[in-house]
């Protein structure tokens, strides 16, 4: 994507460190149109982020 194109903002939430790290390093997020805004260990942290800042997508487990 060129500089003038918008990336979707993404936060990653998972309680397992290996999963968080793996997802954040997965391939090339920018090639898929995403920029990782933050990575969190739990939903509470993610919700606090969402209260402060809008994001386009959240990747999490159930």
Give the start-to-end residue ranges of the domains of the chain.
8-60
Task: Check: CB of residue 35 under 8 Å from CB of residue 8.
Answer: yes
End-to-end C-alpha distance for the chain, whole angstroms: 31
Q: What is the pLDDT along the chain (62 residues), one digit of tens a residue?
A: 555 679 999 999 999 999 999 999 988 999 999 999 999 999 999 999 999 999 999 999 87
pLDDT of residue 51: 97
Q: How many CB atoms lie within 10 A of CB 13?
A: 22
The beta strand positions in 1-62, using DSSP E, are 8-13, 34-40, 57-60
Please state, in angstroms and rounded to a whole number, the distance separating the CA atoms of residues 37 and 49: 10
């Amino acid at each position: 994507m060129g500089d003038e194109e918008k990336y979707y903002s993404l936060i990653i939430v998972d309680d397992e460190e290996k999963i968080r790290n793996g997802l954040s390093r997965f391939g090339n997020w920018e090639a898929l149109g995403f920029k990782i805004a933050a990575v969190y260990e739990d939903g509470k942290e993610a919700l606090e982020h969402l209260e402060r800042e809008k994001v386009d997508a959240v990747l999490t487990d159930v």
